[in-house]
Amino acid sequence: MKTGFRLAGAALFVSAIFPCAIDTSPLFVPRHRPEKLNSAFVRGKLGILTPTLSEEYKLIAWRYLSGLPLSQQEQVAALSPPGVDGSSKAIEQWRKARESAGLPVIYFGTAKVSRIAPGNFYDNCLDSAFTTASETLADRMQRYPGKQAVASWVQAQDQVFKNCSGEMPVYPPDPDPGTSELERADRMYQIAAAHFHAEDFDDAEARFRAIAADARSPWRDTAAYMTGRVLLRDGTLTGRTGALESAVSAMAKITTGPLHDSAQGMIGYINSLQDPASVLKSLSIKLTLSKDETVLNPAMA
């Protein structure tokens, strides 16, 4: 009996000194989440830390324990991570945009089971696609010649988005003869986007390159960026030789404009696929530097 009490006492002592040695997650808190999943946690009030935390929360805890607190911008990002709320908000924005044009709500998925790379399931249509569509619709309602032209654009965009999750590819029709230059440019971009989301990568690349070469198209810069996106998607899904290198080359040509930062981010992502060890080393150095040290070492920025 005394031995039993001694063992129980020892267990209580160990758990008090080393709370991470056992699963001490509070009741009703998922094992991968911290005790205080709110603004307090991202401000550094970490609470009880357990070994079952997901990597993102372990990283936040490590930052504070290492004396590298999150900035206010990083705290906001940690509370609203991309992919959790962003996509749903963007889709809702698109639905409201359609309603403003007097069109009914349509529901569809955004993730796709690849038809050319069996076993791959991925997010095919990101929130930026729906945001761009919403902003374009608002603009075209002002610039198109009439309601029928606007309705035709929306119908074509619906076909683009059907390829987000649909198994059978759907493509908008070619522009009618006599349509305005803007309507024609919009339709050519929609057709290229439909081929991209349908995994017709060769066709999509050719179409985006043609648009990027058209100085009159308002989609010229976006098409140049999308050329890189097509090559990246092709390389990651099919492993086609040279696709990732071509994607880097396409993104590197985007040196100015609003898509420059996104292009640089894509290049960094591709580098992580091709040489993960070097990228891991670079990121590790960045994480261990303070803001002042980063400024003093531009190569690390």
pTM for the full predicted model: 0.70
Q: 26 φ, ψ to 5°? A: -60, 160
132-162: pLDDT as tens digits: 999 999 999 999 999 999 999 999 999 999 9
83-126: pLDDT as tens digits: 444 447 888 899 999 998 888 878 778 989 999 998 898 999 99
216, pLDDT greater than 50: yes
5-31: pLDDT as tens digits: 444 444 444 344 334 434 444 445 566
Q: At what angle do helices 181-197 and 220-238 cross, to 10 degrees?
A: 10
Residue 249 vs residues 228, 242, 260, 263, 282: alpha-carbon distances, Å: 8, 11, 13, 10, 22
What pLDDT is attached to residue 290? 58
| Lowest-confidence segment of 79-93, 156-170, 233-247, 251-265 by average pLDDT | 79-93
What is the distance between the alpha carbons of residues 118 and 131, in angstroms, rounded to a whole number? 30
More confident residue, 129 or 67: 129
186-206: buried (b, 16+ CB within 10 Å) or exposed (e) per residue?
bbbbbbbbbbbbbbbbebbbe
Structural tokens at position 66: 């290492």
What is the distance between the alpha carbons of residues 33 and 49, in angstroms, rounded to a whole number? 9
More confident residue, 292 or 74: 74
Alpha helix segments (H runs only) across 119-255: 127-143, 147-162, 181-197, 201-212, 220-238, 243-252
3, pLDDT greater than 50: no
What is the distance between the alpha carbons of residues 194 and 70, in angstroms, rounded to a whole number? 40
N- to C-terminal Cα separation, the chain? 63
Report percent pLDDT > 90 for the chain. 50
What is the signed CA dihedral for 197, 188, 86, 201, rounded to 10 degrees? 30
175-204: pLDDT as tens digits: 999 899 999 999 999 999 999 999 999 999
